[in-house]
Amino acid sequence: MAQKTYAGVTVDVNDEGYFNDPSQWTKEIAAEIAKEEGLSLTDKHYEMLEYLRNKFNSGEQLTIRGINKSGIVDVKTFYQMFPGAPLKKSTKIAGIPKPTSCV
């Protein structure tokens, strides 16, 4: 098991950098992971991270369609907020496992 230190806190992550224990996550940690990914987080980003964490905590699958229905941002904005691989990147910053859905 790998470990990383964000905002002075040591957390357990897997080979790809996803959190093993989502409860270790804080907003300060998120900002540092985001920096690693070349992003600086806005309020909208945090709102989206909260949404993702809530979905994960309630055991729901994360899908791109769900993001569109979240009421936070539309999909186009979501792609702009987390450029590259948006769902993978956002879940990493949100401190939850990599999504397993194909849609």
Partner 1 sequence: MSDNDHRIKKVSIICAKGTIEDVYASLVMGNGAVMEGMEANLFFTFFGLEAVIKNRMDNLHTGVVGNPAMRLPGGMRMPTWMGIIPGMEAMVSGMMKKEMDKLDVPPVSEFIELFVAGGGNLYACKLAADMFKLKKEDLSEHVTGIITVGEFYELAGGEGSQIIFT
Positions in the binding site for partner 1 (CB under 8 A): 61, 63-66, 68, 74-76, 79, 83-88, 101-103
Catalytic residue, candidates 10, 59, 102, 103:
102
Q: For residue 13, list its beta bridge partners.
A: 2, 19
Helix axes 86-93, 27-36, angle to 10 degrees: 140
Work out how close the CB of 3 gets to partner 1 at its nearest, in angstroms, rounded to a whole number: 27
Cβ closest to partner 1, residue 41 vs residue 64: 64
Clarify whether 40 is annotated catalytic.
no
**Burial class (CB within 10 angstroms; exposed 0-12, middle 13-18, buried 19+) of 76:** exposed
User: Least Å distance between CB 79 and partner 1?
Assistant: 5
**Least CB distance to partner 1 at residue 86 (A):** 7
Residue 57, helix vs strand vs coil: helix
Residue that the structure tokens 């270790």 belong to:
24
Looking at beta carbons only, is 29 or 67 nearer to partner 1? Answer: 67
The whole-angstrom separation of Cα 82 and Cα 72 is 14
Residues serving a catalytic function are 102
